[in-house]
A and B are shown apart, each in its own frame.
Chain A
Amino acid sequence: MEPKIAISGLNKDFWSDRQSVCALQDINLSIADGEFVCIVGPSGCGKTTLLRIVAGLEAASSGTVTIQHDSLSRPLNSMVFQEQSVFPWMTVRDNVAFGLRCRGVARRTREEIRDHYISEVGLKGFDGAFPHQLSGGMKQRVSLARAFANDPEVLLMDEPFAALDEQTKIILQESLIEIWSRHRKTVLFITHSIDEAIALSDRVVIISARPGRVKDIVKVDLPRPRRVYEMKSSAAYGVLVQRIWSALEEEVRGASAKDYRRGSAPRERSNGLD
C-alpha cells in the first residue's frame, strides 16, 4: 500500500554567521494511512523544522515530502501549533470554522461541521466565548477542533500540549486519543516527552541531536483504546520507556555537551522523562 506521508532523502540547511548548519540530514520516513506517529528528539534537533516542512510552511534544502491526496476536496494538512495560536479576536465558533471559511465551504455545512467539532472537543456552551475567557487547555481544544474540522488528509501537531500543566495535559491526551480513534486520521505528532509519545502513538520516531537523523523507530503495540494512567502501570509500557530513553539519552547528553564545548549557553538540561 502507498504510504500516506512519504519523506525521502530530506535535508535542511540553515545559514547562520555565513556558515551553513545542517539541521536535518537524510530523513526517510513513510507513514501509513491512519497511523499515529510521534517524533521525539532532544531540543534543537530540528523536529519542529521537519514538521513545518511537511506542512509546507518551510522549504526543504533537498529531498521530497509527498502527502497522498486521496480526496481533492480535502486540504492536504492542518496543523495544531505549540503556542497559543487561536485567533484572540474570534469567538470559539469563528476559530473552529476558520479553515472551512478559507476553503469556501457553504455556510450551512460549515456551521454544522463547526458545531459538531465544538461539542466533540467538549466545548459546547463556550461557542460564543473569546479565547481570553478560556483556560490554556480549552484554547488547545479549540485549536484541535479547528484542525479536525478542516478534515485534512493528515494532521500535524507540534507539541500542542507542551505548555499545559500535567493534569490538563493527560486529560487532553485522552481527548485526542478518543477523537482520533473516531476519525482515524493520519497524525504526525512532535513531542519531547517520551510518555506522551508512547501514550498516543503507533510508532515513535527518534531523531538524533543536530544534525537531526532518524536514529530509531519503535513500534508501540499497546492495545487501544488506551487510558493514559492505566497504560503507565503496565510492564510493556516500562519496557518501551526504557528502550526509547536508551536511544535518546546519549543524544540528549551529546547535545548539551556539544553546547558546552562550543561555549554557547547550554540548552535546558532535560532528563527527557518529564
Chain B
Amino acid sequence: MALTDLATREPEGKGLAQCAVETLAPSRPIDKAATAQRRARLHERLATILSPFLLLAIWEFVARIHLVDVRFFPPPSSIARTFWDLLVSGELEINTAMSLSRVVIGFVLGAVPGVLLGVCMGLFPMVRAAAKSIIAVTYPIPKLAILPLILLIFGLGETSKYVVIAIAVFFPVAINTMVGVLGIEKIYVDVGRNFGASKLMFFGAIALRGAMPTIMAGMRIAWSTALLLIVAAEFVGADTGLGAMIWRAWQVFAIEEMYAGLIVIALLGYLSFILLDWIERRVVPWKVYH
C-alpha cells in the first residue's frame, strides 16, 4: 500500500516542480513592473525632500547676484547665521518657550470648558437652546478685535494672552464637541438606557468617547488659530515671545531676525501637527486610519 502510494506520488511531485517553473517564468515581467513602480515612488519621495533645498539654493544664488533686493530677501546663508547666533545667545529659545507656554496654557483653559459645555449641549436640548444664540452672536467676532479690550481688562501681563487664546480655542472645541455628540447614533443611547448607564457613564463612556473624532478635529482648528493669535497678541502686548521678537526686529529693521522668527513658527506648526496626529491615534484608536 505504502509502496504504491509512493510510486503514484512521485510523478505528482515532478508535476508540481514543473508547475512552479511555469508559474515563475511569466511572473518576471510583473517583477520588473514592481521594481519600476518602487523606483518611481522613491523618486517622488526624493523630489518631496529635495525641492525645498533646491528653492533655497535658487534663493541664495539670486540674492548673491542681487537679482532680488537683499534688504527684503537676505540670502538663506545669512539668515542661517543669524538663526545660529540667536540660538547660541538663548534668545530664540526663551521667546519660543514663552510663546509656547502661553499657547498651551490658553489652550487648556479654553478646551476643557469647551468640551464640557459641548457635551452638555449635545446631551441636553435645554442647554443647547440656551447656548446656541449666545454662541451664534459671539463666535463670529474676530478674536483680534477683542484683544484691545482684553488688554484693558487684564493688563499687559500673561493673563491677557491666556484669556485671548482661551476664548479663541473655546468656540471651535465647544461647537465640534456638540456636533460630535449629536452625531452619535441613537442606538448607542438605547443601549445605554437598556443597560442602565448612569449620567456619568452617558457623559464619559458614550458621549465623550463617541464624539472624540470630531472633538479632535475641533482641537486641530483651535490649535492653528491659537498659534496665529499668539503671534498677533505678542506684536502689541508683550516684551517676550516670538511675536514680540519679530515685531522688535521689524522696528530696528533686522530682517534676518524676522526670518528666524518665521522659521521657528513654521517649525512649531509643523511639529505640533505631528504631535496632534500622534495624540489622535492614541485617543481615537478605533478610527480607521489610512
Contacts and interface: CB of A to CB of B under 8 A. Distances in A.
A90 B209 contact: yes
Nearest to B198: A102
Interface in B17-52: none
A85 B206 CA distance: 12
Nearest to A143: B191
Interface in A78-120: 78-79, 81, 83-85, 87-90, 98-99, 101-103
B286 A85 contact: no
A83 B205 CA distance: 20
B66 interface: no
Size class of A's contact patch? 20 to 34
B197 interface: yes
Contact of A99 (B190, B195, B209): B195
Nearest to A156: B194
Contact of A79 (B194, B212, B284, B285): B194
A186 interface: no
A87 B209 contact: yes
Contact of A85 (B187, B196, B201): B187
Contacts of B210: 87-89
A102 B196 contact: yes
B188 interface: yes
Interface string B215-246: 00000000000000000000000000000000
A132 interface: yes
Contacts of A102: 192, 195-198, 201
Contacts of B195: 75, 78, 98-99, 102, 146, 150
A157 to B, nearest CB: 12
Contact of B193 (A57, A87, A90, A103): A57
Chain A CB count within 10 A is highest, among B187, B188, B191, for: B191
B209 to A, nearest CB: 4
Given A132-B286, A132-B288, A87 B194 contact: no
Given A98-B195, A101-B201, A83 B286 contact: no
Contacts of B288: 132
Chain A CB count within 10 A is highest, among B187, B193, B198, B285, for: B187
Interface residues of B, number: 21
A132 B192 CA distance: 20
Interface in B255-290: 284-286, 288
A89 B197 contact: no
Contacts of B205: 87, 90, 98, 101
Contacts of A89: 209-210, 212, 284, 286
A55 interface: yes
Nearest to A103: B196
A25 interface: no
A81 B198 CA distance: 20
A71 to B, nearest CB: 15
Contacts of A84: 187
Given A55-B194, A103-B196, A87 B188 contact: yes
Contacts of B193: 57
A90 B286 CA distance: 8
B201 A81 contact: no
Contact of B191 (A81, A130, A132): A81
A85 B285 contact: no
Interface string B175-206: 00000000000011011111111100100011
Nearest to B209: A89
A256 interface: no
Contacts of B285: 130
A88 B197 contact: no
Given A85-B187, A87-B210, A77 B286 contact: no
Contacts of A79: 190-191, 194
A85 B191 contact: yes
Interface of A: 55-57, 75, 77-79, 81, 83-85, 87-90, 98-99, 101-103, 130-132, 146, 150
Q: Which 7 A-B residue pairs are closest in the complex by CB-CB distance? A: A130-B286, A99-B195, A89-B209, A79-B194, A89-B286, A102-B195, A102-B197
7 contacts: A77-B194, A78-B195, A87-B205, A89-B210, A89-B286, A99-B195, A101-B201
Interface of B: 187-188, 190-198, 201, 205-206, 209-210, 212, 284-286, 288
Given A81-B187, A90-B205, 14 more contacts: A55-B194, A57-B190, A85-B188, A85-B190, A85-B191, A87-B188, A87-B205, A88-B286, A98-B195, A101-B201, A102-B197, A130-B286, A132-B286, A132-B288
